[in-house]
Amino acid sequence: MRTNAVRTLLALAIVSCSAVALATSQKSSGGNPLSGTSWQLVKFQGPDEQTFTVDDKSKYTITFGANGRVTARVDCNRASSTWRLKGNGELHFGSWSRTSAKCGPGSLHDQIVTEGGDVRNFAIKDGHLFLSGGGAYY
């Protein structure tokens, strides 16, 4: 269950052999660079290096709450979990809960859910969040 939800999620961001880039819509609060921020997925690159561009960024979002909770939208589904940073650039999620609607044609939901569970690292560069592990999210 954790793997499926995380995969759904992170659908959003990255740097490494898998990565995601997200554009921010909020600024961080406090000393934690992710706390209180929201991001939209711009593109996703799978471990096979195939790249997918998002047609509607508002359908692929992730919000890191200042309270240690994270919520995500992956097209027609929603997910939530806990999150924490550990070490330099390490990102850890708790167990995920998510909806399981069947999204329409052209959705990146399945790719994100399949690969997103391996996200373990993050970096913020030039206002973009990059997530890596199992794929890249920009």
pTM: 0.77
What's the DSSP call for residue 126?
A: T
Cβ–Cβ < 8 Å for 112, 74 = yes
Q: Which CATH number do you get for residue 82?
A: 2.40.128.270
pLDDT digits (tens, 9 = 90+) for 4-56: 333 334 434 332 223 344 555 455 455 789 999 999 999 888 778 888 888 89
Range of the domain at 88: 2-137
Give the span between the Cα atoms of 3 and 8, in whole angstroms.
8
Closest CA to 71 of 101, 103, 39, 100: 39
Please tell me which residue, 6 or 60, carries the higher pLDDT value. 60
C-alpha closest to that of 118 among 138, 137, 101, 99: 137
Number of domains in the chain: 1
- Tens of pLDDT, residue by residue over 69-118, are 999 999 999 999 999 998 788 998 888 888 999 999 989 888 777 766 67
For residue 135, name the pLDDT band (cuts at 50, 70, 90).
Answer: low
